[in-house]
Each structure stands twice: as structure tokens, then as C-alpha cells.
Amino acid sequence: MNSSPLPRIIAIGSDHAGFELKQHLVSVLSKAGHTVIDHGTNSIESVDSPPFCAAVARDVRDGKAEIGIVMGGSGQGEQIAANKVHGVRAALCNDLYLAEMARSHNDANVLSMGGRVVNFDLAEQIVEKFLTTPFEGGRHERRVAQLAEIEQQEGGR
């Protein structure tokens, strides 16, 4: 990571397809001074991703982590799983533009990436962009509030 953002508490998790990328990012983030809560998985043995993603998302929702990162083969299923946790706005960001927009316009608090889609270097850049891009607020605050309202309305179903 080139311009390391302020140290953060970051929850991270993956399935088997995202394991190698997760391991790489745990090392990079730790060396940059971040506290990393690793929810697994711990090998390339095939596993289902929802429990790992939900654990990351719950840490973010409950304030145990400031940001979450989930990974799988494409990142799509992991994003969906994380978004099932109330209060989470997970965004699939397999490029820099999406990472910037996820933070600046949607105040995303969980980053999802595909271990079979991005290489280590690009993943580091995406994480850095996600960590350093502030939420713009303004008109986007209204939209984020609307998402929370929908989530509240759907909570009982």
C-alpha cells in the first residue's frame, strides 16, 4: 500500500477461492499498521462463503470493525451474503473506479472482491482506494438513508 491510510480495524473473510488473496491482504494490511480480524477460511479446501461473510459483516455492524473485506471467486456471492446483515452496505469492487464510487456515493462499509478476478497488486490498490475515499455526503446521504429505510421496512419479513 503506497499511502497508508490511518490505522483501522478491518474484519476480513473469504471462501476457498479467495483464500490466497485474503492471506496476502492480511499480511499487507497488518504490515501497514491496521488491526485485522481474520474470520477465515484457513485453507483452499472447498467451503461455503456465507458464514465467513456474515461474520465479517456482523463485526462491521456491531462496531468491532470499521471496514469489512470479503472475497470469493468472483466476489458476487460474498457481497450478497454480507448484504444480508442489517446495516451493511457491501459493494463488489473489482476495479478502482467502483471502489471509489462505493465509498464516495454509497458509504459502503464492506468491500467485496473476486480472488479469481483481481491480482494481488490490483487488490491492494482497490483496498487502499476503499480505505482512503471519504463519503461525500450531500445528496448521497438522502440515498443512504433511503436504503436504511427499506432495510427497516423489510426487517420483519
Does a structural domain hold residue 4?
no
Helix (H) or strand (E) holding 71: strand 67-72
CA distance 54 to 32: 25
Instruction: Count how many domains the chain has.
Output: 1
Whole-Å CA distances, 155 to 50, 53, 84, 138, 151: 19, 19, 10, 26, 6
**Structure confidence at residue 36 (pLDDT):** 98
Does a structural domain hold residue 2?
no
pLDDT tens by residue, 3-22 = 556 789 999 999 999 999 99
Residues 6+ apart with CB under 8 A from 8: 34, 35, 66, 67, 131
Return per-residue pLDDT of the chain as tens, 157 residues: 555 567 899 999 999 999 999 999 999 999 999 999 999 999 999 999 999 999 999 999 999 999 999 999 999 999 999 999 999 999 999 999 999 999 999 999 999 999 999 999 999 999 999 999 999 888 898 888 888 888 888 875 4
The three cell numbers of residue 140 are 448521497
Q: Give catalytic residue positions.
A: 78, 105
Domain that holds residue 132: 9-154
Query: Taking CA 72 as the corner, what is the angle to CA 106 and CA 69, rounded to the nearest 5 degrees?
Result: 40
| C-beta neighbour count of 9 within 10 angstroms | 15
Whole-structure pTM value: 0.93
**Structure confidence at residue 130 (pLDDT):** 97
The three cell numbers of residue 117 are 478476478
Maximum alpha-carbon separation in the chain: 45
The domain spanning residue 41 has which CATH number?
Answer: 3.40.1400.10
Does a structural domain hold residue 58?
yes
Does a structural domain hold residue 42?
yes
